[in-house]
Amino acid sequence: NAVEISGNLIPKLIDEVPILAVAATQAAGTTVIRDAAELRVKETDRIAAIAAELGKLGAKVEEQPDGLVIEGPVSLRGALCSSYGDHRIAMALAVAGLIAEGETVIEDSDSVAISFPGFKEKLEELGGTVID
């Protein structure tokens, strides 16, 4: 089910917001993430990046100045996506690709080695196909 994530929770899970946004695409209702403006100054603008790329996959995502509003559940469809060179965006999109209908290609995904060197192998264990 949809949730609201804000306030004191945000500092504890700021790096997990991209994958939480993916989960929210499958939750019933409207998920709201706010008080996360810090994501605008990470490796990339993670708010803009995840909103744009999940939108390519068919998600209903509205970018806010300090977060996201995500409607769910939606059926995701494969698309050509960009990671913006950001490891957390790449991993979140890869998980979204696992539940999307059709092929999802993520450009510039080598950055995942920064925080999870075995990610590609784990993704294959979960049914994904990784092509370098």
Q: Is 110 noted as a catalytic residue in this protein? A: no
User: Which of 15, 35, 45, 66 is flagged as catalytic?
Assistant: 15
Instruction: Please provide the DSSP assignment of the chain as one string.
Output: ---EE-TTHHHHHGGGHHHHHHHHTTSSEEEEE-S-GGGGGSSS-HHHHHHHHHHHTT-EEEEETTEEEEEE----B--EEE-TT-HHHHHHHHHHHHHSBS--EEET-GGGGGT-TTHHHHHHHTT-----
- Active-site residue set: 15
